[in-house]
């Protein structure tokens, strides 16, 4: 079973991805995380990736494909893979479909979480992240016990560098202009399930599971 989860920033993609991976024994490929790790490496590839990410640009397809090929070559045998952050644009989706079909596989489902722009803003503006352990809080919906301090490690909570209104707008424009057309491409293939991401975590998760059942994936 191969799944792809997509949605705008702060749509709860990461949370749902973790739950799906745990429940169904899936491998989880999170492209943003893989790239952020590479960006820390002291290599020319790492430096190039860091520059692109920090300036809010997409990493070119040739580099993304190199990363994904390396990752897939090393993956163990599991019940399936949950892709998150790849493919992200139509050209990557076309490459990916070709790649899977050469292996006698296909993408079975695209889980598309939606969230209105105002809600994305509200979530991101109120997001705080621990400067030490990386745990994420939200001062409205999931506040720390003591203001400004991480419940888990006592580290200082900070605002992420890219959670400024201009950068949020830039990222959302990228989603609308480049990722939404890719979702449309998969919609034509009849494999997209669109879900309202503005609901409690468990309600969304039950909805995803229901739709997987309806499609005979479980
Ligand atoms: P994310 O955590 O998914 O928002 O990704 C962080 C950054 O990594 C993005 O702003 C892009 O610069 C880069 N990135 C992640 N996935 C891709 C992809 N599939 N194609 C190109 N760039 C990507």
**Ligand 1 pocket, mutate which of 13, 51, 53 (most atoms under 8 A from CB):** 53
pLDDT tens figures, 5-26: 999 998 999 889 999 999 999 9
The strand ranges marked E within 72-173 are: 81-84, 109-114, 127-130, 136-138, 157-158
Pick the CATH number of 2-116+164-214 from 2.102.10.10, 3.40.50.300, 3.40.50.970, 3.40.50.720: 3.40.50.300
Q: What is the overall mean pLDDT for the chain? A: 92
In this structure, are strands 81-84 and 27-30 parallel, antiparallel, or unpaired?
Answer: parallel
Q: Residue 89: what pLDDT?
A: 97
Q: Residue 4: what pLDDT?
A: 98
Average pLDDT over residues 193-205: 96
Ligand 1 center–CA 152 separation, angstroms:
28
88 catalytic, yes or no? Answer: yes
Tokens standing for 97? 């479909």
- Report the binding-site residues: 10-15, 36, 57-59, 85-88, 92, 127, 130, 133, 136-137, 150, 153, 160, 171, 199
170 catalytic, yes or no? Answer: no
Q: Residue 161: what pLDDT?
A: 75
Q: Residue 77: what pLDDT?
A: 60
How far, in Å, CA of 133 to CA of 151, rounded?
Answer: 10
Of 109, 91, 99, 131, residue with least CA distance to 186 = 109
Contacts of 39 (CB under 8 A, 6+ apart): 46, 47, 49, 50, 53
Ligand 1 close to Cβ of residue 64 (< 6 A) = yes
Q: Residue 76: what pLDDT?
A: 63
How far, in Å, CA of 15 to CA of 152, rounded?
Answer: 18
Ligand 1 close to Cβ of residue 174 (< 6 A) = no
**Got the DSSP string for 53-88?**
HHTTPPPPHHHHHHHHHHHHHT----S-EEEES-S-
Whether 133 shows a pLDDT value over 70: the answer reads yes
Average pLDDT over residues 100-104: 87
Q: How confident is the model at residue 54 (pLDDT cuts 50, 70, 90)?
A: confident
Whether 152 shows a pLDDT value over 80: the answer reads yes
Question: Cα 169 from chain centroid?
Answer: 17
Ligand 1 center–CA 13 separation, angstroms:
14
123 catalytic, yes or no? Answer: no
In this structure, are strands 192-196 and 109-114 parallel, antiparallel, or unpaired?
Answer: parallel
Average pLDDT over residues 94-100: 93
Question: Which residues face 157 on adjacent strands?
Answer: 130
Predicted TM-score (pTM) of the model is 0.90
Ligand 1 close to Cβ of residue 58 (< 6 A) = yes
Handedness of CA 91, 34, 59, 63 (dihedral sign): negative
Whether 136 shows a pLDDT value over 90: the answer reads no
* Catalytic member of 23, 47, 106, 160: 160
**Got the DSSP string for 13-58?**
HHHHHHHHHHHHT-EEEEHHHHHHHHHTSSSHHHHHHHHHHHTTPP
Q: Residue 215: what pLDDT?
A: 96
Ligand 1 center–CA 207 separation, angstroms:
27
Average pLDDT over residues 80-90: 95
**Ligand 1 pocket, mutate which of 32, 37, 178 (most atoms under 8 A from CB):** 32
Of 13, 46, 47, residue with least CA distance to 30 = 13
215 catalytic, yes or no? Answer: no
């Amino acid at each position: 079973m191969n799944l792809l989860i997509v949605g705008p920033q702060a749509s709860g993609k990461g949370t749902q991805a973790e739950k799906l991976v745990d429940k169904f024994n899936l491998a989880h490929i999170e492209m943003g995380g893989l790239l952020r790790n590479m960006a820390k490496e002291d290599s020319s590839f790492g430096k190039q990736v860091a520059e692109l990410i920090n300036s809010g640009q997409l990493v070119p397809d040739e580099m993304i494909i190199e990363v994904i090929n390396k990752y897939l070559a090393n993956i163990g045998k599991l019940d399936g893979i949950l892709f998150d952050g790849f493919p992200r644009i139509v050209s990557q989706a076309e490459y990916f479909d070709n790649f899977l079909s050469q292996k006698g596989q296909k993408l079975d489902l695209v889980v598309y979480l939606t969230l209105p722009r105002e809600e994305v803003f509200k979530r991101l503006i109120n997001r705080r992240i621990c400067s030490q352990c990386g745990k994420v809080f939200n001062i409205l919906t999931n506040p720390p016990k003591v203001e400004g301090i991480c419940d888990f490690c006592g580290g200082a909570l900070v605002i992420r560098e890219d959670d400024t209104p201009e950068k949020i707008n830039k990222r959302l424009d990228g989603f609308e202009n480049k990722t939404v057309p890719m979702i449309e491409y998969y919609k034509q293939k009849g494999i997209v399930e669109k879900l309202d991401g503005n609901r409690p975590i468990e309600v969304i998760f039950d909805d995803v599971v229901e739709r997987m059942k309806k499609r005979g994936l479980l």
